[in-house]
Amino acid sequence: MPAPFFASADALLPKNWQHREDAYDDFQLEVLLPHKQSENGPMLAVGDADGDGTDDLFIGGAHGSAPALFLQQASGTFASKSGPWEQHKDQEQLGAVFLDADGDGDQDLPS
């Protein structure tokens, strides 16, 4: 049997972090949607947020749950980083991207 294409990274994230989904039902508001946006799971952006040459993770939160930034450590594990994104827990994050928005050579995470 071939090796799996993806492997679980649960052990690399901080033990106290867990995505919490709310009980929102898209179809109660708009019955003609082709599928529920609320069941897509958390969005994920990968980029080098701290400039150390490793991939860091930004994971969106559901309504009532703040998004989180995890910086990759030398050991390959991830440490949580606080920031202004934590004040957006009243919103559902549907997408994010790391890019060099201001042309200074580092990765930015526009909000």
Element (H, E) at 91: none
Element (H, E) at 51: none
Find the DSSP H helices in 45-99.
none
Query: For the chain, which ranges sit under pLDDT 50?
Result: none
| β-pair partners for 80 | 70
Q: What is the pLDDT of residue 99?
A: 92
Question: How many Cβ atoms are within 10 Å of 60's Cβ, its own excluded?
Answer: 23
- Residue 105 and residue 82: Cα distance in Å, rounded? 22
Query: Token pair of 34, please?
Result: 């082709």
Q: What is the pLDDT of residue 57?
A: 92
Q: What is the pLDDT of residue 50?
A: 93
Torsion angle, alpha carbons of 84, 88, 92, 95, to 10 = -20
